[in-house]
């Protein structure tokens, strides 16, 4: 009896390829100036070179598509910031902020999309807030460590200070990346770092 050699299934590869095509097409359209809200599934699939039904095999809706796009955005930024620490000093914080601004500037179309949709979509808003919370938690750990080491004021409230510097810093960063000139990136990064450093990490004791 002749043996039958089974060919490896290509279904998984096709699904992965279509998935990537849709994600890449959406990002291209956003980078070209399209608003995510006004971007229809038909336009996305046409750009990706797939049929409309293929979109819904991979994504429940546009919200799920956006979440897939912005998850690596947040992860990359977190990796940048978490690679520094207060023990690297003010200049270490400045350097990290410069890299963070440049990182978001290269992906400003994704930043614009998440901020646009978070304004009206609770799922995206909750997801993005959870990503920002990771930075807040990290800042709180750093501030508690600096406080225990006697480097910042004993009356500083780490959890509140971490929330203020994280959200405040992000709002300034986002506004600058989306509306400010690139030649001001290092100036803005330094100002954010100075406010964080002397306002929290090296806050003088109250007398």
Q: What angle do the packed helices 108-118 and 89-106 form, to 10 degrees? A: 80
Q: Which domain holds residue 22?
A: 11-59
Q: How far apart are CA 105 and CA 32, in angstroms?
A: 14
Confidence of residue 206 (pLDDT cuts 50, 70, 90): confident
User: Is 6's pLDDT higher than 80?
Assistant: no
Residues 170 and 77 both lie in one domain? yes
CATH number for the domain that contains residue 85: 1.10.357.10
Read off the pLDDT of residues 37-69 as tens digits, 9 standing for 90 and up: 999 999 999 999 999 999 999 999 999 999 999
Sequence-ordered alpha helix ranges (H) in 149-205:
158-179, 185-196
Q: How far apart are CA 120 and CA 111, in angstroms?
A: 15
Q: How far apart are CA 111 and CA 7, in angstroms?
A: 43
Residues 30 and 104 both lie in one domain? no
Contact (CB, 8 A) for 38 and 117: no
Read off the pLDDT of residues 78-103 as tens digits, 9 standing for 90 and up: 999 999 999 999 999 999 999 999 99
Query: Cα angle vertex 100, ends 119, 28, to 5°?
Result: 60
What percentage of the chain carries pLDDT values higher than 90? 90
Residues 82 and 52 both lie in one domain? no
pTM beyond 0.95: the answer is: no
Residues 6+ apart with CB under 8 A from 161: 139, 140, 143, 199, 200
Kindly report which listed range (16-25, 95-104, 134-143, 154-163) carries the lowest average pLDDT score: 16-25
Whether 1 maps to a domain, the answer reads: no
Residues 80 and 126 both lie in one domain? yes
């Amino acid at each position: 009896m002749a043996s039958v050699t089974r060919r490896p299934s290509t279904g998984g590869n096709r699904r992965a390829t279509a998935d990537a095509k849709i994600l890449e097409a959406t990002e291209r359209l956003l980078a070209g100036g399209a608003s995510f809200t006004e971007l229809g599934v038909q336009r996305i699939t046409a750009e990706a070179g797939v049929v409309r039904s293929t979109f819904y095999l991979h994504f429940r809706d546009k919200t799920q598509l956006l979440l897939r796009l912005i998850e690596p955005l947040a992860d990359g930024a977190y990796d940048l910031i978490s690679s520094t620490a207060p023990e690297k000093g003010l200049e270490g914080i400045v350097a990290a902020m410069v890299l963070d601004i440049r990182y978001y500037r290269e992906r400003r179309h994704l930043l614009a999309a998440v901020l646009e949709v978070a304004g009206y979509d609770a799922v995206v808003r909750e997801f993005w807030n959870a990503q920002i919370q990771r930075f807040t938690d990290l800042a709180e750990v750093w501030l508690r460590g600096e406080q225990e080491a006697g480097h910042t004021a004993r009356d500083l409230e780490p959890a509140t200070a971490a929330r203020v510097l994280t959200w405040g810093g992000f709002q300034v960063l986002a506004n600058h990346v989306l509306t400010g000139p690139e030649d001001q990136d290092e100036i803005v990064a330094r100002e954010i770092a100075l406010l964080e450093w002397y306002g929290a990490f090296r806050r003088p004791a109250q007398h």
